[in-house]
Amino acid sequence: MSDAASPVARRLATPSWLDARLVLGVVLVLFAVVAGARVFASADHSSAVYLAKHDLVPGERLTSADVTVGHVRLAGFGHLYIAAGALPDGYVVARYVAANELVPVAALSPGALPASTRLVTVPVVAGHLPPGLGRGSLVDVYVTPKPGSGAAAPTPVLVLAAAAVDSRDTGSRAFGGESTLSVVLSVPVERVADVVRAVESGNIDLVAVPPASAAGTGR
């Protein structure tokens, strides 16, 4: 037998460049996680505010049944709208708010019905008002003066723009066969005389204001 010593096994050393790649990979993963968390957090900067469940008409008292909670990004304008959980008790609607719109602070008035509006009943012949007219609808009020004997038909005149409908009845048939409906409008107090004068002086037409135009009325 040979007395020569057996060779000692040599352990394989891990290359230093592999350690650097591993550390770099861990750093990149951590960076991606932190960046993703920041993006998610910034996207969640929304405010809980009240939205109208249905059209809100000037003069009605606001309750929790009239609103729902929505989460929206207001970008610094949150103070202009009613925050969820802060529904004012005993407040009434002072200006028109369409269904599904945010409820502005300026649209509410404390205490009793706002003194700036009155409810005026307007008789309208069937066919002279938009179909589906109901509470919360906005209409322009026109009057066509009664023509004199043998005179040409007068031109309709705009009496009041973007008046909110408070209510309407189903109509009644007059002696002449025409069906007349009573529509109750919310009218600014300074325009009440104009609307009453129009009712007494001619035929009334109610023209629907489209939702897109209603948003620009500032009511």
Query: Which residues constitute the domain of residue 204?
Result: 117-215
The encoded tokens of residue 46 equal 């929304």
Mean pLDDT of 114-131: 86
pLDDT at 168 over 70: yes
> What pLDDT score was predicted for residue 73?
82
Q: Give the tens place of pLDDT for each residue, 170-196.
A: 765 554 557 889 999 989 889 999 999
**Percent of the chain at pLDDT above 70?**
68
Q: What is the pTM of this model?
A: 0.57
Judgement on whether residues 100 and 137 belong to the same structural domain of the protein: no
How many domains does one find in the chain? 2
Type of residue at 17:
W
State the CATH number of the domain containing residue 83.
3.90.1210.10
In terms of DSSP bridges, do strands 117-125 and 108-109 run parallel, antiparallel, or are they unpaired?
unpaired
Judgement on whether residues 138 and 195 belong to the same structural domain of the protein: yes
Question: CA–CA separation, 25 vs 128, rounded Å?
Answer: 74
Closest-CA residue to 97 (of 143, 49, 141): 49
The encoded tokens of residue 90 equal 């005993």
Closest-CA residue to 81 (of 106, 113, 115): 106
CA distances (Å), origin 64, targets 53, 74, 95: 10, 22, 18
In a domain, 211, yes or no: yes
Judgement on whether residues 178 and 154 belong to the same structural domain of the protein: yes
Judgement on whether residues 121 and 105 belong to the same structural domain of the protein: no
> What pLDDT score was predicted for residue 24?
67
Q: Give the tens place of pLDDT for each residue, 26-77.
A: 667 676 776 665 655 555 577 888 999 988 887 778 888 889 998 888 777 7
